[in-house]
Chains A and B, each alone.
Chain A
Amino acid sequence: MKPTDINDPNYFHKVVDCQWACPAHTPVPEYIRLIAEKRYTDAYMINWYSNVFPGILGRTCDRPCEPACRRGRIDEQPVAICRLKRVAADYKSDISKHLPIIPKKKNGKHIALIGAGPAALTVAADLLPLGYEITLFEKDGVAGGAMRTQIPRFRLPVEVLEEELSYVIDLGINCRFGEEITSMRDLLAEGFDAIFVGTGAPLGKHVELPGFEEARDNIHTGIEWLANIAFEHVSSIGKKVLVLGGGNTAMDCCRTSRRIGGEEVTVVVRSGFDEMKASAWEIEDAMNEDIPILNFHVPKRYICEDGKLVAMEFEKVRKEYDKNGKRLLIPTGEDPVILPCDDVLCAIGQENSLPWVEHDLGIEFDKSELPILNKRTFQSTHERVFFGGDAAFGPDNIISAVAHGHDVAVSIHLSCNEQDINNRPDPITSLASQKMGIHQWSYDNDISNDVRYIVPHAEKAKTLHDVNMEVELGFDEALALKETMRCLNCDVQTVFTDQLCIECDACVDVCPTDCITFTANGKESDLRSALLAPAKNQDQDIYVSGPLNTGRVMAKNEDLCLHCGLCAERCPTNAWDMRKYLFDTAKASA
């Protein structure tokens, strides 16, 4: 193999599994160390610049970082990254002086943002410091988008939402709330320098089966129903509730139902329990609230009596795979299952809705009515129009919407300066030695062996009676400190300088996870199997040095490295060094 090019910004970035997995590439280990130092405000600001809504995301993020966390590969569970982010938000002090300074003198460019959700607000946060004038249109009377309408208050208190929305809005956005845009043609005519569409995927899908029309008054789509709860248009539901669907919206629907009158709430899914799309922790929270989940039940019809919904009929199925490995649901032939119900909530998916974008403006759409976009720049086929968040590629999550927002801001900034928007700026990186003394590092390499700490919950008897009472209490400072010590500091990289190596094997002997070997160079598969414990995880690279004095090379498996620094401590010649790698995605305002 050729020597690894550690100057490639992605090489060490990939080693920081959590940051690599985060759509916004938040520097996770860096803020976790700051939390350990009780520097909550600094930890918060690192998050703020990366993901804009740390307090919201610290409660509601889909946490792609956690399944990626290296700790999960050497221990039973990953670090509770998401809940540590919330700690930074909960314990920070006043951040106003750390927010970006907005120039009084504007740069003359005027941008329109449509939809006050996470994507559009991210675009605003990135462009305002550069002197852009921003006008934000929102059909509702308040900002927040899906963060407000689709996430129940018992998961995200309204004060937390309002606080973080205001940090962005108060930077100086011209808000035109309660104003629904009905024509893109008219908007284009207003002469904005760029238009960003972040209107989400606001259409819920119904389950249309026999009996639907008759039962219609008691059938609701999940996201619209949740929005009605959020705006307090709805405050009760029948005693017996069926929730159709297995995603996070279904979990929010069933838990909300339990709090506003639902006594027997049941989630019913077509396929298997293990195929449910909802996050494992949300399923667990629902089950802890005495909500059964029935799997392999396919809905067949609504049953009404006297023009009112009384039950639903389901067919039991089992899973089989056909020759091509496709999953099939085969009826078991058992008697149909009748589940009595007063209300049905359909949470089987949601769709974009862009009827107000006329199709003759040069903005092209694909077969599924999604705009055709450049996946990197988010530019549509109209050079002044950009899409982001769920409006771009269909329903995803908040953190992806934020990541889109940062990219869109870069695109708009390049476009307004008449630069090639495909020529993206490089990320900002640094690699600095952490050596303080012979055996001292500026990071704490003495990681904790503890298992993951559980976030305390409020008393169930109370939370089930108050739809606005937050269930999770968050870590206190003591628990947070213990959890931070589980982080392996994967951003503190093992950097090898081949010219200094005397091939004494000290690093090989000390490495607790058998990452390092000195061997004859060869194909990647040879090097992967030459280690004391073979490097089978192909998703993780191996780090290969140039030839050493004996002609061998050093090959290091990055997969299970604990970043404990013992290789560098036991290295007599400093051929190994522990260097902190900071990676910041390029932002318009950076």
Chain B
Amino acid sequence: MTSRGPESSEGGPGRGANRQERERNGRLSRSRGSALRLLPLAPAIILIGVFLVGPIAWSFYGSFTNAALTGANAQNPEWIGFDNYLNLFSDPLFPQSLLLTVVFVLVSAVIGQNFLGLGLALLMQQAHKTVAAVVGTCVVAAWVLPEIVAAFVAYAFFFRDGTLNQLTGFAGLPAVDWLFEQPMLAIILANIWRGTAFSMMVYQAALNDVPREITEAAEIDGAGGVKRLVFVTVPMIRRSIATNLMLITLQTLAVFTLIYVMTAGGPTNRSTTLPIMAYEEAFRYSDIGYGTAIAVVMLIIGAAFSLAYIRLLRERKEP
């Protein structure tokens, strides 16, 4: 013990010096190597630059020109400043499309997918294994389908002579031409059907992380089911809720195939959301400049939603 004492006291500073040296070396090589350390990121940055930033920058630029698919403007697009935006804000279709887009996002994603997903996740926690497996498979099936297939399925369901009307027909109810009379309702229901699985899976994962003891403690304290959900479970999965909301909002904002296949924005533009409007302007009327202006507006809306959710995320993390 005594003989080892000095050794160890001698060894202490020696090891300490070593550590310092290593740290110094490390700091040196870190500063020298920091450029090299970033190198592996380069392919990713280049890819993002080429396939994400590039197109965004181009559509931003394009929205200030009269670029077109055909006609003289296709050859020599001119800089026209804010004309596209001025036209857009005076276009009677724009406020309508904007409203429809917001309704579509709020009702089908924020309310529909989100609450239904949470509800299903909560129920499946309590449910018998077989029931949960069957329900889970059914819900996830819609999510697994490629968007175009899901869109055709939804079309076949809501179509005039489709499944829904045949079912209501058996029940003796009059047939309703959903895609014609209630186009927004049809695409909202279709989007809820298709997207709920995602929210459900996110919430299932989040609920698994809520410790049993806490809920049990709350139960012993006399909190009922609803109280436990509102005061215990929801605050504990708040971050998952915010992340999920952000993802499904951005996803729903960009939904194109589903709407295009089911209603193509009709009848009389009653289901023309911004992505459909941008597509029609750019590719059907060949007005690329105007179409990109709509795309830029969509980018801004998406960014606004994201910022709101990110703030939500931060505030909830440190109350």
Q: Does B bind A?
A: no
Q: Which A residues are within 8 Å of any B CB, using their own CB? A: none
B residues lining the A interface (CB < 8 Å): none
